[in-house]
Amino acid sequence: MDVMVMCVIYIWCQMNKDVIVTFWFGTRFKAVYLPWVLLVVNFILSNGGIDSLSGIVVGHLYYFLKYQYPQEHGGSELIKTPAFLKNYFPDVGGVHGFGVPPASTARPRTTMQGGNRLFADSWGSGNTLGRN
């Protein structure tokens, strides 16, 4: 259960990076640092923090495959939420009330025009695998 909770916290913190959170004794910092603070606290107080670290790794994997890879690197969305879950849990602001997905920062692809350029950005149009 600790791994799943840390995974959800990590994803929420990535989607709400600039939100200020309050921790013990009124300590305030940006939400993006919360999983790492919880990891250190769990490392000091409990079983060494391996559960927290596992949750961070799984959360980062999900966040990367769902949002970061498609938007920043121009790839396809590798993880999709099943339709029955979207129907069961209605969308209430943002990504099902969880926050706003990050804006795309993918660099637009350029085409090579005007002869050969050394180390050009484009290698041609290519063919998509699996499609006719």
Q: Is residue 46 part of a domain?
A: yes
- Structural domain containing residue 38: 2-88
- 52: nearest Cα among 115, 17, 106, 9: 9
Q: Is residue 16 part of a domain?
A: yes
Amino acid letter, 41: V
Residue 105 is predicted with a pLDDT of 59
Residue predicted with more confidence, 72 or 5: 5
With a cut of 70, say whether residue 26 has pLDDT above it: yes
pLDDT digits (tens, 9 = 90+) for 65-102: 888 888 777 777 778 878 888 788 776 655 555 666 66
Q: How many domains does the chain have?
A: 1
Q: Is residue 7 part of a domain?
A: yes
Cα separation of 59 and 43, whole Å?
A: 18
Q: Is residue 68 part of a domain?
A: yes
Q: Is residue 128 part of a domain?
A: no
Tell me the whole-structure pTM to 2 decimals: 0.62
CA 109 to each of CA 78, 120, 122, 127, 128: distance values in angstroms, whole numbers, following the listed order: 20, 11, 7, 15, 16
Q: Is residue 25 part of a domain?
A: yes
